[in-house]
Chain A
Amino acid sequence: MSTVDTVANGQSRSPARQGLLRALRDRRLPVLLTAVLLLIMYGFGASRYQYENFLDPQVVYQLFVDNGYLLVAAIGATFVILTGGIDLSIGSVIGFTSMLTAALMTKAHLPLPLVALIALAAGSAGGFLMGYVIHTFQIQPFIVTLAGLFLFRGLCLVINKESISINNGLMTTLADTHVPVPAGWLSLGAVLAVGALAVAIYVLHYTRFGRRVYAIGGSEQSALLMGVPVGRTKIAVYTISGFCSALAGLLFVLYIQSGDPLHAVGLELDAIAAVVIGGTLLTGGSGYVLGTLLGVLMLGLTKTLISFEGTLSSWYSRIAIGVLLLLFILMQRLLSALQRLVRK
């Protein structure tokens, strides 16, 4: 590595090198790589299972139908992770929402819309509280949201130890609603998830609030000096995550039609994994919500492929998620290492 002579003068880089450097530094590159890998996986599935209806567009739609709640949860996680934080309470809030919804509907006989509102408010309030504690008392998000994880899972069990199934006409109708799309259909949950995605894209990329989220992730200290209301933004981000988790919980109820204290245990890991696979840095400040969608689709496609394979058992999907996670984290390290190398 005889870098001595080239480093001496910054101007001595060749245009080709500069182009390469620019490409390596492009923030869209990780998302692009995820997209390419997703296509390769889809192509692999298409060639291997072409006689088992894999090419049916509904297979793709089904990814949204089966993973809508995960997508919504992962969107919330994206906000938090972009600020450089983490939210471990996602799975518990989803479980809590499912229990709360089931209990309010079957025991208190409240109407579904009201229940949905209560659930969303509860999730948001939980997120707000966690954000408040994190910011005001400067405690690590990891620990605070860990407490949130315990609290909401505990509340699940306090509501009821056993699972509660929901037999509600409106709920069943909603769950069975098929929204027609070209060459297939989507469930209501999937449509809502896609809607949430659109809103998230707008908020993160087209509003001042979104820019603040990125600024804090880039450097909290700088953001503070640049006049960003860091505290308010951080609290807002955890509130959004709480809201998304509650919404994901509602979609989950719609999908499963029951409340169970053990619903969505460990789902926060899937959400975080989807965010990371989608190219968002866990250190914050870099990534796209669209990448999170790709990450969720990647996890969904992995499960689909495993189920199409038939002989493979479900636990392979956990291993596959771990391998994907490793792959993408190593890739991120490699990219930054390459950047350093090319810059020299």
Chain B
Amino acid sequence: MTTETTPERRPAPDRSTGGAAPAAPTAGRPGTWWRAALRHRLFWPVLALLLLLILNVFFTHSFFSIRLQQGHLYGSLISILLFGAPLILVALGMTLVIATGGIDLSVGAVVAISGALACLYISKESDQNSLTGMLVAVALSLGLGLVLGIWNGLLVARIGIQPIVATLILMVAGRGVAQLITSGQIITINSSPYGRIGGGYLLTLPFSILIVAAVVALLVTLTRRTALGLMVESVGGNAEASRLVGINARRIKVMVYMFCALCAAIAGLMISSNVSAADGNNAGLWIELDAILAVVIGGTSLTGGRFYIGGTVVGALIIQTLTTTIYTIGVPTQSTLVFKAVVVICVCLMQSPAFRQKVFSRRRRGPDRPAGVAPAGQPDVEPRLEVQA
């Protein structure tokens, strides 16, 4: 991948108006709040999400209504959250990995493995409805998820393999392992405690939404209440500077891959619990791609550095809402992927400095090129030798 050959990071432009500028400092002056909002990095993702949601109202008038039935909340918004839960989880883990400048392609495989192991264990229990059995199954799956995360982390941080290659190994082999666990079949189980993970309700809310909320809270606490977030961003933002202030980048990296795999394992439990079955072949298929997409939409750069948990959640919700929207407005569901492709390209183009420069600024080269910017990038420009008369 090209990440390795990228020359030194270019510092952000000397303006505080960049996408990452916090909104707070400009507050206070009247009339500038909307400008601050406009600059806020979450502005465009949230706007996109709102537009998508509003679009739905035209087709489903009851889209925003939420009703209480038998102590459970129902409604389109709740469904989006419910069906989006696994993706949000995986994307949360991916956020940290990407922030360190890495990537984890193996999350889909981990989703499949985790669901497979849990279902296998429960299916072997004499009483599938036993709570302890279910707890042991969950513990086993999460434990295995952590082990897989350590595996990825060691390959990346200790042996020094590029993240994309290192996690490709588990991506390829992992599906096989999942099928090995399920013996190539779809294991169906009938366990009410296990079914609660994906389909149960607590305090009127679907249990899986609560799990996601808990993981978000945990992640925010872990990264913003301890110094973990700072170190992750430091390692991803400037690896050499981080080494020189004494940060143990290896340990940080292993930790984020562990967390990522753990999130994927939880998502795997959720997915298999939702359908009361484990499908080694199809569970979590392409979820790694959706997760990466969600992270990128949320404003975290693929080159590492600052990460935005809120942005990732919004990004994942956009993807889920998109799927729902396509369904509700009657476009054939099969074009979801085409829409997704268009979204990916648009988001990436908007984030590409080269694109912005081409579109939004005059094409001038040479005199106003800032110092320190390598002359790369315009290789195909025909050299000109102007002889001045």
Contacts and interface: CB of A to CB of B under 8 A. Distances in A.
B337 A153 contact: yes
Contact of A150 (B103, B172, B296, B344): B344
Interface in B25-70: none
A287 B352 CA distance: 31
25 contacts: A84-B2, A84-B5, A136-B354, A139-B354, A140-B1, A140-B2, A142-B164, A142-B302, A143-B302, A146-B344, A150-B337, A150-B341, A154-B337, A154-B338, A158-B334, A161-B332, A220-B376, A265-B285, A282-B162, A315-B180, A319-B177, A322-B169, A322-B170, A325-B172, A329-B166
B161 A321 contact: no
A144 B348 contact: yes
Given A143-B296, A231-B379, 5 more contacts: A138-B353, A151-B338, A157-B337, A321-B172, A325-B169
A229 B4 CA distance: 21
B171 A269 contact: yes
B221 interface: no
B264 to A, nearest CB: 17
B7 A229 contact: no
A167 interface: no
A316 interface: yes
Interface residues of B, number: 59
Residue in A265, A273, A315, A320 whose Cβ sees the most chain B Cβ within 10 Å: A315
Given A150-B337, A231-B379, A269 B173 contact: no
B337 A86 contact: no
Interface string B280-304: 1000010001001100100000100
Given A84-B2, A86-B164, A315-B280, A133 B172 contact: no
Contacts of B3: 140
B172 A137 contact: no
Given A282-B162, A283-B162, A137 B292 contact: no
A147 B334 contact: no
A221 B180 contact: no
Identify which of B171, B176, B348 gathers the most chain A CB atoms within 10 Å of its CB.
Answer: B176
A137 B180 contact: no
Identify the interface centre among B164, B180, B334, B336: most chain A CB within 10 Å of its CB.
Answer: B334
Contacts of B177: 319
A315 B379 contact: no
Contacts of B334: 154, 157-158, 161, 261
Interface in B210-231: none
Contact of B337 (A138, A151, A315): A151
Contacts of B160: 333
Contacts of B380: 229-232
Interface string A224-257: 1000111110000000000000000000000000
B184 to A, nearest CB: 5
B129 interface: no
A31 interface: no
A2 interface: no
B179 interface: yes
A330 interface: yes
B344 A147 contact: yes
B306 interface: no
Interface in B174-211: 174-177, 179-180, 183-184
Nearest to B349: A137
Interface centre among A86, A136, A154, A316 (most CB of B within 10 A): A154
Given A154-B341, A155-B338, A161-B334, A269 B172 contact: yes
A22 interface: no
Given A143-B348, A151-B341, A283-B162, A86 B335 contact: no
A261 B168 CA distance: 24
A219 interface: yes
Given A158-B335, A221-B376, A138 B1 contact: no
A323 to B, nearest CB: 7
3 residue pairs, one from A and one from B, having the closest CB atoms: A322-B173, A318-B176, A154-B337
A86 B343 CA distance: 20
A155 B165 CA distance: 28
B101 to A, nearest CB: 12
Contact of A314 (B171, B184, B336): B184
Nearest to B356: A137
Interface string A126-149: 000000010011111111101111
A148 B2 contact: no
A285 B69 CA distance: 62
Interface in B316-347: 332, 334-342, 344-345
A142 B104 CA distance: 13
A232 B381 CA distance: 11
Interface string B350-364: 001111001000000
A316 B180 contact: yes
Contacts of B379: 224, 228-231
B150 to A, nearest CB: 15
Interface in A198-233: 219-221, 224, 228-232
Interface in B364-389: 374, 376-377, 379-380
Contacts of B352: 137-139
B245 interface: no
B162 A273 contact: no
A315 B164 contact: no
Interface in A49-93: 84-86
A313 interface: yes
Contacts of A140: 1-3, 302
B179 A315 contact: yes
B159 interface: yes
A319 B103 CA distance: 21
